[in-house]
């Protein structure tokens, strides 16, 4: 027997780009994150061939989860075809042999920035959200050591203070994205910069969600069937964006989260933020055999 | 016209039968070689105002911080006669301390930066107290913040100004409103008027007096200013180098001080 | 009949640490006071009459002796009673009437006068009515009732103070020259009030600059005499 027979052949890169110890670190912290829903786990964030702040946290989680049979979808602001999303997706398939897709229903792993797709995720799918700033307490407590004590004490009063002052100043809650939400009745998390529209999708969802911040070196998770409750006052209900009555001017779909396209005459048109849902709707209208999966929102309403 | 019932007024006296609200016994604290407190004991009865005087470094502020459970002494026992509360409060864990301090003890610091979130609104500072206690109704928060600020004689049209934009006297009123928002059993005042203009100082003291009269709040007030203590306190404790050198009724301490140091203090007063 | 107050061998001196001296006030004071009795304290200037009143009130700490205050529940020694008990007794049982007002900023005259009643639980409106009655009785002009006494003349301040001190009958009242420098009308009102209180059973002990003012009320007199000033005592 030769030593060569006991070792694997030389490779230019580890499978899935990250080396074994980096993946082990990620795996351990991902398991911990699942064990304590919403609690931020510090991890040794590695260098990836992308600048910090462009989704390196999400990328590391995805790289750890990938295998050759994975089907991967990457979206940026709801779109599969933005430069950032396309580059990450092609990088992922190149280092892992995973299949690329734009179709939410076909994907096994979805890495996303700013949106959760409109089609309902299933138990066999994993959502990876890129998080720029994982600390919901940062606006009220600049000292991160104290912020961690506050998490330990479930001392979240000041987060309501922010909402209080928004209502005092503006008459309503102004928190548009990254709406602080209580996970499993214990830890408050930032659900990454997704709109208010998307937060209820995390509540008691079938799928597993990882949220990872590469620069801040923190990851946390929302396991399947876990309560995710946006912080609200008892007398002022949580409100999602007022998009239920808007119609996409390209696909004709209604009742989903829209992007506003300003027009030259000062008016605005709207198109679906989840671009591939729009594509599927257009193809379906043209007669192709395209399957649109069940969506979270039905007629612009989230069923309770 | 009412008939004041003379017979009623001439009934047998009711001597103090209620137990003290606050009991501190044998509290000692060293910081390195510095003895901050040495075997200090204190009692405060419900509705009473206890004044603590002494020069800088006498340990009076340290003692107040002990009462607010901000520090743990090397030795000593601290009890508050409140429902659901027993044993030595110094044995409470950090979480229990925080809840106790937030809900049952109010404090006003000399330095408003210690007591206030300077960049949040004044009403929000008051509301935060209620939020810690679990209040989650916006209307209730707003209403009770307004009420507490009103009781502290804070101009309500400025209730949404940030403390950093307010004068020193107004900042102290916000602190006071925050401290009384949950109707604490004990209100601690650490040099509440030091550093304010004399006229503003008089107004703040007057507000405190008024609160004390209307709500019978039990207070402990620390000051190096004998005038403040004389105006506010029913009983006075004189501290020096971490020890209590004398205590007594306020008028007795000022008119007939016994200890050499107290006599010096009283005679040194302008 | 049980007395209200039983003073036994009461002594007071002041230890002046900075002088290294002991300042003698009085000693061996013994007397008894019953309900409805009016006791006049006499003696030359500087003999310690006011000091005795203050010692009974515990503004001054007695040096020796007993001040037994009798109640239906038993007796308590005011010389050694706990501060909180003294504070409580002062609130409801033992009054001190002086000519000097402890004025407080931003509190109206009528509120100052009504305060002792408020503390006993009488509702604000009734207490204020009663306060105004006494302000009128002592001749404080109506337009001053809502004003702050800190700005009043000495005479008006004194009237406010008397109204406050006498509004609530207390079991034992210590009177420290309340008539001094009062105008005739107010003095008459004060003497009327003292007579009513005496009739109601209030025990009183007082120092008066002109005892003739209250001659009709006096039951007994005790005389304090100047004693030999003891030699300086090293501290």
Per-residue pLDDT tens over the stretch A48-92: 999 998 899 999 999 999 999 999 999 999 999 999 999 999 999
Q: Which residue of B has its CA nearest to C13?
A: B256
Q: Are residues A129 and A54 in the same domain?
A: yes
Q: How many CB atoms are located within 10 Å of the residue C27 CB?
A: 16
Is B11 contained in some domain?
Answer: no
Instruction: Look at residue A271 and tell me if it is in a domain.
Output: yes
Q: Are A250 and A118 found together in one domain?
A: no
Does residue B2 lie within any of the structural domains? no
A43 and A132 belong to one structural domain: yes
Contact between A153 and B128 using a beta-carbon 8 Å cutoff: no
Q: In DSSP terms, which residues pair with A236 in a beta bridge?
A: A233
Distance of CA A279 to the CA centre of its chain: 21
Query: Chain C residue with minimal CA distance to B209?
Result: C104
Asked if residue A169 and residue A89 are part of one domain, the reply reads: no
Contact A233 B138 (CB under 8 A): yes
- If you measure CA to CA, which chain C residue comes closest to B212? C119
Three-state SS sequence of B31-77 = ECCEEEEEEEEEEECCCCEEEEECCCCCCHHHHHHHHCCCCCCCEEE
Q: Do C59 and B249 touch (CB under 8 A)?
A: yes
Residues A221 and A251 in one domain: no
Which backbone phi and psi does A99 adopt, to 5 degrees? -85, 140
- The model's pTM is 0.84
Q: Look at B137 and A153 and tell me if their CB atoms are within 8 Å.
A: no
d(CA B102, CA B97): 8
List chain C residues with CB under 8 Å of B216.
none
Domain annotation covers residue B181: yes
Find the domain containing A204 and state its range.
20-136+178-229
Q: What domains lie within chain C, and their CATH numbers?
A: 5-223 (3.40.50.300)
- Which among B19, B38, B14, B20 has a CA at the least distance from the CA of B28? B38
User: What residues make up the domain containing B151?
Assistant: 20-268
Q: Are residues A253 and A132 in the same domain?
A: no
Residue A235 lies in a domain: no
Chain B residues 18-47 within an 8 A CB cutoff of chain A: none
Residue B47 falls within a domain, yes or no? yes
Are A263 and A225 in a shared domain?
A: no
Residues A66 and A193 in one domain: yes
* Touching status, chains A and C (3+ beta-carbon pairs under 8 Å): no
Task: Provide the 10 A C-beta neighbour count for residue A35.
Answer: 11
Q: Closest to B15 (Cβ–Cβ): which among C85, C118, C133? A: C85
Question: Does residue A234 fall inside a structural domain?
Answer: no
In this structure, are residues B96 and B53 in contact, taking their beta carbons and an 8 Å threshold? no
Residues in chain B closer than 8 A to C82 (CB atoms): 16
Closest listed residue to residue A78, CA positions, set A304, A286, A253, A288: A253
Question: Mind listing the pLDDT tens digit of every residue in chain C (235 residues)?
Answer: 678 999 999 999 888 888 888 888 888 889 999 999 999 998 888 788 899 999 999 999 999 999 999 877 778 899 998 898 898 888 888 999 887 766 666 788 898 899 888 877 788 888 899 999 999 999 888 888 988 888 888 888 888 989 999 998 888 999 998 888 888 888 999 999 999 999 988 999 999 888 888 888 999 988 887 665 544 443 3
Q: What is the CATH number of the domain that holds B185?
A: 3.40.50.300
**Residue B249: C-alpha distances to residues A302, B108, C194 (Å):** 67, 24, 28
CA distance C169 to chain B (A): 6
Identify whether the C-beta of residue C219 lies closer than 8 Å to the C-beta of residue C37. yes
Is the same domain home to A167 and A104? Answer: no
Q: Subunits touching A (CB < 8 Å, at least 3 pairs)?
A: B
Which of B91, B92, B72 has its CA nearest to residue B29?
Answer: B72
Residues A62 and A187 placed together within one structural domain of the fold: yes
Residue B8 falls within a domain, yes or no? Answer: no
Residue A213 in domain: yes
* Chains B+A touching (3+ CB pairs under 8 Å): yes
**Measured CA angle at B205 (ends B201, B210), to 5 deg:** 150
For residue A51, give the CATH number of its domain: 3.40.50.11310
Average pLDDT for B7-13 = 49
Which residue from B minimizes the CA distance to A171? Answer: B138
Structure tokens at B200: 């503003």
pLDDT at C103: 64
From the CA of B70, how many Å to the nearest CA of chain A?
15
Q: Give pLDDT tens digits for A4-15.
A: 888 888 888 889
Give residues with Cβ within 8 angstroms of B179, minimum separation 6.
B106, B107, B108, B115, B187, B188
**Chain A residues near residue B117 by CB distance under 8 angstroms:** 140, 158, 161
- Could you tell me if residue B1 is inside a domain? no
As a whole number, the mean pLDDT across chain A is 93
Q: What is the pLDDT of residue B12?
A: 53
Please, what's the largest Cα pairwise distance for chain A? 78
Angle at C168 between CA C162 and CA C170, to 5 degrees: 105
Under DSSP, is residue B255 helix (H, G, I), strand (E, B) or coil?
helix
Domain annotation covers residue A3: no
Q: Across the interface, do A164 and B139 touch by the CB < 8 Å criterion? A: no
Is there a domain that residue B41 lies in? yes
In sequence order, the 6+-apart residues with CB closer than 8 A to the CB of C204 are: C37, C38, C39, C172, C173, C174, C175, C194, C197, C198, C217
Using N-to-C axis directions, what is the helix angle for A157-170 and B122-132, rounded to 10°? 140
Residues A156 and A284 in one domain: no
Q: Is the ipTM of this complex over 0.90?
A: no
Number of neighbouring beta carbons within 10 Å of residue A57: 30
In a domain, B234, yes or no: yes
Q: Is pLDDT at B269 greater than 90 in this prediction? A: no
Number of compact structural domains in chain B: 1
Cα dist from A230 to A180, A200, A223, A258, whole Å: 6, 8, 16, 21
Please state the three-class secondary structure of B146-166 as a single string: HHHHHHCCCCHHHCCCCHHHC
* Interchain proximity A165–B120, CB inside 8 Å: yes
CB C199 within 8 A of CB C218: no
Please give the structure tokens belonging to residue A92. 């992922």
pLDDT at B2 over 70: no
Size of the B and C interface in Cβ pairs below 8 Å = 107
- For position B234, what pLDDT does the model report? 92
Query: Long-range contacts made by residues A12-18, C-beta under 8 angstroms, separation at least 24?
Result: A13/A95, A15/A95, A15/A96, A16/A63, A16/A64, A16/A66, A16/A95, A16/A96, A17/A48, A17/A49, A17/A63, A17/A91, A17/A95, A17/A96, A18/A46, A18/A48, A18/A60, A18/A63, A18/A64
- The rounded distance, in Å, linking the Cα atoms of A29 and C223 is 91
Going from the C-alpha of C69 to that of each of C29, C36, C74, C80, C173, the distances in angstroms are 15, 15, 9, 11, 12
**Do C203 and C233 touch, CB atoms closer than 8 A?**
no
Q: What is the DSSP letter of A254?
A: B
Shared domain for A106 and A26, answered yes or no, is: yes
Among B2, B16, B209, beta carbon nearest to C88: B16
Best mutation target, B2, B214, B246, to test chain C (most C CBs within 10 A): B2
Number of domains in chain A: 3
Task: Kindly state whether residue A105 falls inside one of the protein's structural domains.
Answer: yes
Q: What is the mean pLDDT of residues B40-57?
A: 92
Residue C130 is nearest to which of B2, B255, B264, comparing CB atoms? B2
- As a 3-state breakdown, chain C gives helix, strand, coil percent values, each rounded to 5, of 35, 25, 40
């Amino acid at each position: 027997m030769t030593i060569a027979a006991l070792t694997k052949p030389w490779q230019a890169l580890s499978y899935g780009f990250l080396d074994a110890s980096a993946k082990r670190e990620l795996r351990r912290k991902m398991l911990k994150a699942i064990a304590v829903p919403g609690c931020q786990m510090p991890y040794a964030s590695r260098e990836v061939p992308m600048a910090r702040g462009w989704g390196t946290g999400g990328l590391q989680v995805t790289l750890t989860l990938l295998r050759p049979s994975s089907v991967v979808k990457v979206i940026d602001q709801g779109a599969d075809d933005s430069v950032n999303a396309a580059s990450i997706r092609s990088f992922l398939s190149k280092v892992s042999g995973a299949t690329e897709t734009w179709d939410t229903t076909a994907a096994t792993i979805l890495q996303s920035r700013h949106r959760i797709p409109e089609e309902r995720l299933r138990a066999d799918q994993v959502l990876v959200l890129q998080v720029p700033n994982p600390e919901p307490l940062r606006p009220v407590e600049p000292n991160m050591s104290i912020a961690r004590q506050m998490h330990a004490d479930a001392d979240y009063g000041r987060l309501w203070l922010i909402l209080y002052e928004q209502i005092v100043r503006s008459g309503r809650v102004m928190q548009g994205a990254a709406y602080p939400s209580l996970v499993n009745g214990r830890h408050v998390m930032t659900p990454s910069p997704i709109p208010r529209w998307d937060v209820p999708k995390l509540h008691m969802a079938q799928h597993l969600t990882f949220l990872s911040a590469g620069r801040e070196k923190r990851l946390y998770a929302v396991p399947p069937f876990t309560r995710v409750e946006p912080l609200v006052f008892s007398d002022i209900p949580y409100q999602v964006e007022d998009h239920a009555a808007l119609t996409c001017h390209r696909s004709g779909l209604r009742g989903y989260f829209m992007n506003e396209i300003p027009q030259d005459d000062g008016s605005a048109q709207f198109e679906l933020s989840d671009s591939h849902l729009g594509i599927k709707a257009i193809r379906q209208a043209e007669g192709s055999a395209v399957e649109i999966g069940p969506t979270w929102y039905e007629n612009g309403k989230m069923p309770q | 016209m009412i008939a004041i019932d003379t017979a009623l007024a001439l009934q047998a006296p009711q001597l103090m039968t209620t137990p003290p609200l606050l009991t501190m016994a044998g509290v000692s604290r060293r910081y390195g070689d510095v003895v901050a407190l040495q075997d200090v004991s204190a009692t405060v009865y419900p509705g009473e105002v206890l004044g603590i005087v002494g020069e800088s470094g006498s340990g009076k502020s340290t003692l107040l911080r002990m009462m607010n459970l901000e520090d743990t002494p090397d030795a000593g026992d601290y009890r508050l006669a409140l429902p659901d509360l027993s044993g030595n409060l110094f044995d409470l864990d950090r979480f229990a301390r925080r809840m106790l301090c937030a809900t049952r003890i109010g404090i006003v610091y000399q330095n408003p930066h210690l007591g206030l979130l300077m960049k949040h609104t004044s009403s929000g500072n008051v509301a935060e107290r209620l939020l810690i206690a679990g209040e989650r109704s916006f209307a209730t928060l707003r209403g009770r913040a307004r009420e507490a600020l009103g009781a502290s004689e804070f101009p309500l049209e400025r209730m949404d100004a940030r403390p950093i934009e307010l004068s020193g006297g107004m900042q102290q009123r916000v602190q006071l409103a925050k401290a009384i928002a949950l109707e604490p059993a004990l209100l601690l005042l650490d040099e509440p008027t030091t550093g304010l203009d004399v006229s503003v100082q008089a107004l703040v003291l007057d507000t405190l007096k008024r609160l004390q009269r209307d709500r019978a709040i039990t207070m402990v007030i620390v000051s190096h200013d004998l005038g403040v203590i004389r105006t506010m306190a029913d009983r006075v404790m004189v501290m020096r180098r971490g020890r209590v050198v004398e205590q007594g009724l306020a008028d007795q301490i000022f008119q007939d001080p016994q200890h050499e140091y107290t006599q010096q203090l009283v005679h040194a007063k302008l | 009949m049980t007395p209200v107050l039983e003073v036994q061998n009461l002594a007071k001196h002041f230890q002046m640490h900075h002088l290294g001296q002991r300042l003698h006030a009085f000693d061996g004071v013994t007397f008894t006071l019953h309900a409805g009795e009016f006791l006049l304290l006499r003696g030359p200037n500087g003999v310690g009459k006011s000091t005795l009143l203050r010692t009974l009130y515990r503004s001054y700490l007695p040096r020796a002796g007993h001040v037994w205050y009798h109640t239906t529940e038993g007796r308590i020694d005011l010389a050694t009673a706990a501060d909180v008990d003294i504070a409580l007794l002062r609130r409801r049982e033992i009054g001190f009437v002086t000519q000097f007002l402890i004025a407080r900023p931003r509190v109206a005259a009528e509120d100052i006068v009504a305060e002792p009643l408020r503390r006993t639980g009488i509702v604000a409106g009734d207490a204020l009515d009663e306060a105004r009655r006494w302000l009128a009785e002592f001749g404080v002009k109506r337009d001053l009732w809502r004003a702050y006494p800190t700005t009043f003349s000495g005479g008006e301040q004194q009237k406010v103070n008397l109204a406050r001190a006498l509004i609530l009958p207390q079991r034992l009242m210590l009177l420290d020259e309340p008539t001094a420098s009062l105008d005739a009308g107010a003095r008459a009102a004060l003497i009327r009030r003292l007579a009513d209180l005496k009739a109601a059973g209030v025990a009183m002990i007082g120092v008066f600059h002109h005892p003739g003012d209250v001659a009709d009320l006096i039951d007994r007199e005790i005389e304090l005499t100047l004693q030999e000033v003891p030699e300086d005592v090293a501290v």
